[in-house]
Chains A and B, each alone.
Chain A
Amino acid sequence: MPELEKADDAGAEADDAAPEATGPEPIHGHPVTEALGETTVHPPREALADLVRALRDEAWLMCLDVTAVDHLANAGGRVLPEGVTPERFEVVVMLINHRDPARLRIKVQVPEADPTVPTLFEVHPGTEALEREVFDMFGIAFEGHPDLTRILMPEDWDGHPLRKDYAVGRIPVQFKGDPGPR
């Protein structure tokens, strides 16, 4: 289980950093940030599926949302805990706890050179369409996803529309009997 070992390593690093930082308690050894009353965990991407599985078995029963952010042009800066290297893409997972109503955000840094993330399909089958949407819009591949195809854009579409280097653009509309440009 190489993935588990990596997760343990990351956990050990976070524990080392814990005494200096007076921030919130780490969750499963992964650093946590809090802002605007929302909690975010920052695991390394290899540990994502294991973390989500462990949280599901605690009380975070449902995965509400999987999405991504392309930080290519973000001038606002990001708040990341120590030891987490910012990368171009962030995959954002939203979990919900029904027992003690709360939401939890999980953020994974995904480098531009290797945009892959392990799938959550085995843990929460309901992420199937959401992961396909992220793949379609950002070109981030989910390893192990049973049917990773475009979901909203046509199959033969070029590019990934929600990336920041993809211009808004427009497609010329052809009207019947249009005399063409003057």
Chain B
Amino acid sequence: MTATDPHPTAPTLTAEGSQEMAPRDMAGGVEVLRELGSVLRLSEAEVAAMGDIEGDPDEATTTIMNMGPQHPSTHGVLRLMLELDGETVLRTKPVIGYLHTGMEKTGETLTYLQGPTNVTRMDYAAPLFNELAFSLTTEKLLGVEIPERATWIHMLLCELNRISSHLLFLGTNGMDLGAVSMMIYGWREREETLRVLEHITGLRMNHNFIRPGGVAADLPDGWREKVQALLDTIPDRLDEYEVLLTDQPIYRDRLQGVGVITTEEAIALGATGPILRSTGYAWDLRRSMPYLAYDQVDFDVIVGSYGDCFDRYSIRLAETRESLRIIEQILQQIPDGDYRVQDKKVTPPPRARIDESMEALIHHFKIFTEGFRVPAGEAYAAVESPRGELGMYIVSDGSAKPYRLHVRGPSFVNVQTLPHMMHNGLIADGVAVISSVDPIMGEVDR
């Protein structure tokens, strides 16, 4: 494209042509086959063998339309190009990148101590999972073992965060489908969860609390009462949601049988999290490849049976209850001890030591200006975020900054299931499908 351009550097501000969906008559034979193939997830040859699929609609009756990037139901800046036949969606192409801020590149310029500040802003509905994945990878490279109490604090924070993320989903899912009162309830309960997180970490979101080597501070006074108060209120509220949504015929009609995906398709598309589990495939990293201390707590992996939007809604609702169950066990089992590793290389000295020791002051200064060096090598660690497998891949060259930081964002991969799930559905069903995938654009675009 640019090779034939006489002025390759001249800015063509609105030209995003090749990222967009080409019209059927302009796309030509091969392109249509490819695009259909990427919708149906078949190879070109398989699509061609199917012959005139969908009766190859008349070009005069189809329309290509933009949905987004500023559409309230697209959860941020997701832009979908839809090819429509009347109200039926034939092809879909997600066009992303509107929120791209180069966080992987930025991550290469920040030290390992500054890293969590950067990555916590990716999946802004579940920031603690980003920090956890980054810290686990760094700890793997460093070869440090974090204290047991820090492990359990990580689990407590992550489960609280999973609840707040799923409550956000329940609220927005209701709103997308017209149950606007659900939005108020979902956000109300989410705010209560965030208040507990704020009490513990100091911030509602973008906590920067989980850091390589442990957490920034020990749990504050009164954390147990606050968490217990949350455990006492949320279950009743979830029962209310069941009455408001699960038992409501209109809501069920909007979700049941909509956006169906099978296990084979979900695996081929790399989908993880509730999308994969909704197909009846019990894959949860907390159970299958346990990290932290998830092998010491009792919880169920929730699976669906039909792979439709209703299953994905019910899974998230039920996972909220499982998270509450895990938190109850954490309250009983959390041990005493250090909240971060007592490794002078990784952990800055406590504030009190700085006043009395020159070495501590120098050490503190060095860690915050230069950072700590991480042995050369590479590591990948993944956690089960509310959206699926969130992995971080770090290549270290032995300096204090990652040589390469790559994030395997679950939303980025899950968005690829949209063309498949929206195929041959109505536009209104498309809204339900987008909502049920629950993409967070900060993580899709990074």
Chain A residues near B (Cβ < 8 Å): 35-38, 61-65, 67, 69-70, 73-77, 79, 92, 94, 98, 101, 103, 105, 122, 124-130, 133, 137, 146-147, 149-156, 158, 161-162, 168
Please tell me if the beta carbons of A147 and B34 are within 8 angstroms of each other in the complex.
Answer: yes
In this complex, what residue of B is CB-closest to A155? B16
Name the distance in Å between B294's Cβ and chain A's nearest Cβ.
Answer: 13
B140 CB-CB contact with A under 8 Å? yes
Please tell me if the beta carbons of A36 and B141 are within 8 angstroms of each other in the complex.
Answer: yes
A64, A129, A153: the one within 8 Å of B100 (CB): A153
Whole-angstrom CA separation of A121 from B436 in the bound complex: 25
B86 CB-CB contact with A under 8 Å? no
Interface of A is mostly: loop
B160 CB-CB contact with A under 8 Å? no
In this complex, what residue of A is CB-closest to B33? A146
Whole-angstrom CA separation of A128 from B416 in the bound complex: 8
Name the distance in Å between A69's Cβ and chain B's nearest Cβ.
Answer: 5
Name the distance in Å between B271's Cβ and chain A's nearest Cβ.
Answer: 7
A125 and B288 in contact (CB under 8 A), knowing A94-B391, A152-B100, A155-B16? no
Please tell me if the beta carbons of A168 and B380 are within 8 angstroms of each other in the complex.
Answer: no
Tally chain B residues at the interface, Cβ within 8 Å: 60
Please tell me if the beta carbons of A156 and B11 are within 8 angstroms of each other in the complex.
Answer: yes
Please tell me if the beta carbons of B413 and A130 are within 8 angstroms of each other in the complex.
Answer: yes
Contacts of A63 in B (CB 8 A): 270
**Residue with the highest number of chain A CB atoms closer than 10 Å, among B17, B143, B379, B404:** B404
Interface residues of B in 1-35 (CB under 8 A from A): 9, 11-13, 15-19, 34-35
A61, A92, A98, A152: the one within 8 Å of B393 (CB): A92
B41, B104, B389, B398: the one within 8 Å of A162 (CB): B104
Contacts of A124 in B (CB 8 A): 268, 270
In this complex, what residue of A is CB-closest to B263? A61
Contacts of B44 in A (CB 8 A): 146
Whole-angstrom CA separation of A131 from B393 in the bound complex: 16
Chain B residues near A (Cβ < 8 Å): 9, 11-13, 15-19, 34-35, 37-38, 41, 43-44, 96-97, 100, 102, 104-106, 109, 140-141, 143, 267-272, 283, 288-289, 376-380, 382, 389, 391, 393, 395-399, 403-404, 406, 408, 412-413, 415-416, 445-446
Whole-angstrom CA separation of A156 from B5 in the bound complex: 11
Please tell me if the beta carbons of A62 and B19 are within 8 angstroms of each other in the complex.
Answer: no
Nearest 3 A/B pairs, CB to CB = A126-B270, A76-B376, A76-B397
A64 and B19 in contact (CB under 8 A), knowing A35-B377, A94-B380, A147-B38? no
A125 and B41 in contact (CB under 8 A), knowing A76-B376, A103-B380, A154-B97? yes
In this complex, what residue of A is CB-closest to B270? A126
A62 and B267 in contact (CB under 8 A), knowing A69-B395, A162-B104? yes
9 A-B pairs in the complex with CB atoms less than 8 angstroms apart: A35-B377, A62-B267, A64-B408, A70-B404, A74-B395, A76-B397, A76-B403, A130-B270, A152-B97
Apart from A154-B97, A161-B102, what are 19 other A-B pairs with CB-CB below 8 Å? A64-B270, A65-B406, A65-B408, A67-B408, A69-B403, A75-B397, A75-B399, A98-B283, A122-B43, A125-B269, A128-B416, A129-B413, A130-B412, A146-B34, A151-B97, A155-B16, A162-B104, A162-B105, A168-B105
